[in-house]
Amino acid sequence: MPSQFITPPDHLPTKHNILIINALETELATLVLWLKTVADEYDIHLYHSKMPETDWVVDVANKAHTIMLSNIEESTLSPMLATALIARRDAVVRFGPNADFLDPIQIFLSIKESNV
């Protein structure tokens, strides 16, 4: 089965689900193209601060194996989500300008390397 993208209100609480917060459309389009080239399958929850489903994203963040957070719009996070991310700081990986990773694909490659 190919990788799946999940958006509110759906949940797919798998053991290795990933949450991506505030990714740009171009980053997601590139990610989709990249995922078509790899055999690995991921369950990817997508959220943007402009979405009203704060309860949903907090619930997903509390269960996500990895949380990929764009540092571009980090200041737009709701206080409830910001608190949840602080509690899960070991699962949070930032991407974007001046972050450890330029984009989500680099994080996926890092995850894959650490699982080898």
Report domain extents, the chain: 4-115
Separation between Cα atoms, residue 7 and residue 10, nearest integer Å: 6
Q: At the top level of CATH, which class does the domain 4-115 belong to?
A: alpha beta
Query: Which pLDDT band, with edges at 50, 70 and 90, does 33 fall under?
Result: very high
Residue of higher predicted confidence among 73 and 101: 101
* Nearest-10 crossing angle of helices 54-63, 79-87: 0
CB of 113 within 8 A of CB of 92?
no
The one-letter code for the residue type at 50 is K
Query: Which pLDDT band, with edges at 50, 70 and 90, does 115 fall under?
Result: low
pLDDT digits (tens, 9 = 90+) for 72-100: 888 889 999 999 999 999 999 999 999 99
